Amino acid sequence: MKNLIFDLRQKFLEKAINFYGPFVGAGVKLESMSKDYRSAKVTMPLRFYNKNYMGTQFGGSLYSMVDPWYMLMLIKNLGKGYIVWDKGATIRFKKPGIGKVHAEFLLTQEIIDEIKANVEENTKMDKVFKVEIKDESGVLICEVDKVVYIRKKS
């Protein structure tokens, strides 16, 4: 029964997040998320409502693709004993996005262990995750360094 409730909660989250206002407005879609919240794939087609003046992917929409995922994945994997917040990001544009783009997120056990050890030793930390947004041919459109703040609850 517990697994059924967990599966239903995850399916609800996966469906509901695609109706989140900023994602709808940008055309961002969660394509998949693993049951353990350690990997996810997000896509965004080029539409009239997410084009910039030059007719390519709007930079703010590209950033919105990567905004919440590592924070959400860490909250689910670290548990209730930790506080996790998005803290900042840097985006570097490499090529114009002229079609459907995607980003993938991976949280390994090694990363989780590294975070726990660092927070145990230092009380808090900023973890930087590098995310690549690519087009359908695998061409790099932009890189995002996503900074997530993590600390133990007192």
Mean pLDDT over each residue of the chain, to the nearest integer: 92
Residue pLDDT, tens place only, 92-143: 999 999 999 999 999 999 999 999 999 999 999 999 999 999 999 999 999 9
Residue 1 confidence (pLDDT): 53
| Residue 40, token pair as written in the block | 């996810």
- What would the DSSP string read from start to end of 57-106? B-HHHHHHHHTTHHHHHHHHHH-TTEEEEEEEEEEEE-S---S-EEEEEE
Q: Which residue has the tokens 């697994």?
A: 3
What does the alpha-carbon distance between residue 143 and residue 154 come to, in Å, rounded to a whole number?
Answer: 34
| Residue 83, token pair as written in the block | 């506080």
Residue pLDDT, tens place only, 13-34: 777 888 888 888 889 999 999 9
pLDDT at 3 over 70: no
Residue pLDDT, tens place only, 32-49: 999 999 999 999 999 999
Q: What is the DSSP letter of 51?
A: B
Whole-structure pTM value: 0.89
Are the CB atoms for 79 and 18 separated by under 8 Å?
no
Ordered by where they begin, the domains of the chain are: 2-152 (3.10.129.10)
Distances (CA, A) of 48 to 42, 53, 58, 127: 19, 10, 10, 35
Distances (CA, A) of 110 to 113, 128, 135: 5, 14, 28
